[in-house]
Structure 1
Amino acid sequence: MNEDPIAFTEAAATKVGELIRDEGNPNLMLRVYVQGGGCSGMQYGFEFDENVQDGDTQVERKGVKLLVDPMSFQYLNGAEIDYREGLEGAQFVIRNPNATTTCGCGSSFAA
């Protein structure tokens, strides 16, 4: 049973690990955040970060750390970060039970 407040799937952790190796900096962690914008009012963002900030939630899977700041955490608590490859291409996907509506591309939502 997963007790982490945010699920970080094995597929997502594996892909992030590959990207970190490609960057050549083993200190990098994946920061996931929420900001205003997108067609539904809020949108997800991803970036690499070397620093853990005060209040960050950390989830580790397969030696890869995921960071979420406190403001974003209120929207991402209970969400799942996954990585999918399919006919439409490869992408990170967030399944968020807190989103009341999402846009067709899945990159923005309303809470």
Structure 2
Amino acid sequence: MTTVIDDLPLDMSPALVFTEAAARKVGSLIESEGNPALMLRVFVQGGGCSGMQYGFEFDEQAQDGDTMVENLGVKLLVDPMSLQYLSGAEIDYREGLEGAQFVIRNPNATTTCGCGSSFSA
């Protein structure tokens, strides 16, 4: 069973926020791949200088237990184990002097590395 985060009561915050900027960028990447069935999978795995690191990959199918968040018709998937670490996080995309990158603002991260690609919880 896949959990879809859609409309929530006003007093509940979403388990995961997928910003419009991130959805637009993922949508353009999917378009350049030429496969409209693709969805962005965000996951957490061991590694990096702080112990845990984020990963991104395209997937054509939701797995049993995945949480799905949709914005602008673009779907983001998170597996149940990763959702434990990403609950309440915001997946965003930003362009600046440092370049363009996806950014995860994670309230569960107790420490992060200097580059922001790994964390501990």
Pair in the same fold by TM > 0.5: yes
- Tell me if structure 2 keeps the 8 A contact 1:33–1:72: yes
Q: Which runs of 5+ in 2 are unaligned?
A: 1-9
Q: Which amino acid aligns with 1:106?
A: G
Residue 6 of structure 1 corresponds to: 16
TM-score (norm 2): 0.89
Q: Which amino acid aligns with 2:91?
A: I
CA positional deviation for 1:4: 2.9
Helix, strand or coil for the counterpart of 1:17? helix
Q: Which amino acid aligns with 2:90?
A: E
Residue 106 of structure 1 corresponds to: 116
2:53 maps to 1:17: no
Higher-Rg structure is 2
2:75 maps to 1:65: yes
Q: Which runs of 5+ in 1 are unaligned?
A: none
TM-score (norm 1): 0.97
2:63 maps to 1:53: yes
Q: CA RMSD in A?
A: 1.1
Residue 26 of structure 1 corresponds to: 36
Superposed CA deviations along residues 65-107 of structure 1, whole A, max 9, x for unmatched, are 0000000000000000000000110000000000000001110
Q: Which whole-Å CA distance do the structure 2 matches of 1:62 and 1:109 have between them?
A: 29
Q: Which whole-Å CA distance do the structure 1 matches of 2:48 and 2:13 have between them?
A: 30
Residue 101 of structure 2 corresponds to: 91
Runs of 4+ in 1 over 6 A off after TM superposition: none
